[in-house]
Amino acid sequence: MPYFQVYYGNAGSSYGLGAESRKALNRARADIAATLQAKPEEIYFTAGGTEADNWAIRGIAEANKEKGKHIITSQIEHMAVLQTCRFLETQGYEVTYLKVDSQGKIDLKELENAIRRDTILISIMYANNEVGVIQPVRQIAEIAHEHGVLFHTDAVQAYGQIPVLASMDGFDLLSASAHKFNGPKGIGFLYVKGYQKINSLMKGGGQELGKRAGTENVAGIVGMAKAATMAIREMQERIEKTERLRALLWAGVFENISHVSCNSEAKEHLPGILNISFCGREAEQILGYLDRKEIYASGGSACSSYDRKPSHVLQAMGKSAEQIRGAVRFSLGYDNTEEEMEQVIEKLMKMK
């Protein structure tokens, strides 16, 4: 709030009030960098995960087009990645979309076999937003680097929820978004390792070391850094609590409701995502019913509930049409409670 009300100067201005905003921006950059064990100058603020994904992929593709025009991604990426890749296909780039297994994991052998002499970038999400499966990020980075290829990971669902470290995971670029870790909406960042050459997406003024033009959203950035610091500090506690709630919810649904199956069965999964298929039912109908009880869940991706297409993630995992039609995603936060889980189970049991 102080950055809306008191220190509202433009961080790019030379007057005193602007200097306060600039200091806050620098502190926030250092705080975010510390959570990743990265350097402050490797963090660029963006208007969220979508911009960070678009920028990472287009920026690297355009900066490296003399080296090659082949990109590898997976079939279960968020639309921010998939649509950027599709756009690049219209610009003369080639994209390989890796398959996933029934739990949503990519095959590392298949990844290695897909690498060509002209491959410039691998973009594989850290964890999936619909089912919560976590990909083997460290091994992907190793394979990429053995072949001299850059590795971008969309960590929008993972950063702030599970340990994500530049030093440990080895990615070259990472996208994150504040509203996934209890921060404000419409703010995020792109991590770009070292002095990696990347073309800018937003052209204009000299903000963000000249790489991302546009007046900085100081209040959003300060809010994001605060939320990130808290998420990292309380991470273990939050993971344990959310895992417990998730197990409780699944056990209650499984024991009391017939014809259900779990789409979040991978051993490596996010603690807060539980995707359940209610076979013989329509997700829309379940979501409407829950909504009237003030229980807010989503079908597939919350961010794409505008286009009601069958989930491309569940399709890639080989789920049946019936499982896909009845799939509901429950997203749990550390501040949910056991009583709330019991209420959800009870309401689902009473559903006609």
303 catalytic per annotation: yes
The pair of structure tokens assigned to 48 is 């969220």
CB of 289 to ligand PLP, least distance (A): 24
Name the residue among 171, 140, 185, 182 with its Cα closest to residue 49: 185
Q: Which of helix, strand or coil describes residue 29?
A: helix
**Nearer Cβ to ligand PLP (9/104):** 104
Q: Which residues of 309-332 are buried (b: 16+ CB within 10 A; e: fewer)?
A: eebbbbebbebeeebbbbbbbbbb
Closer Cβ to ligand PLP, 150 or 224, answer by number: 224
**Distance (Å, whole) CA 78 – CA 321:** 20
CB 68 within 8 A of CB 117: yes
Least distance to ligand PLP, CB of residue 80, Å: 4
Nearer to ligand PLP, 78 or 325 (CB): 78
CB 69 within 8 A of CB 92: yes
Compute the least distance from the CB of residue 113 to ligand PLP, in Å.
25
What kind and span of H or E run contains 278?
Answer: strand 273-278
Among the options 85, 262, 279, 303, which is catalytic? 303
Q: Which is nearer to ligand PLP, 48 or 271 (CB)?
A: 48
The residue of the chain with the least Cβ separation from ligand PLP equals 49
Tell me how far, at minimum, the Cβ of 76 lies from ligand PLP, in Å: 10
Q: How far is the CB of 27 from ligand PLP (least distance, A)?
A: 22
- Residue ranges binding ligand PLP (CB under 6 A): 48-50, 53, 78, 80, 125, 129, 154, 156-157, 177, 188, 303
CB of 125 or CB of 324, closer to ligand PLP: 125
Q: Which long-range contacts (CB under 8 A, 24 or more apart) does 206-215 make?
A: 207/12, 208/44, 208/45, 209/41, 209/44, 211/44, 212/44, 212/45, 212/46, 212/55, 215/10, 215/11, 215/12
Structure tokens at 18: 């602007």
Catalytic residue ranges: 303
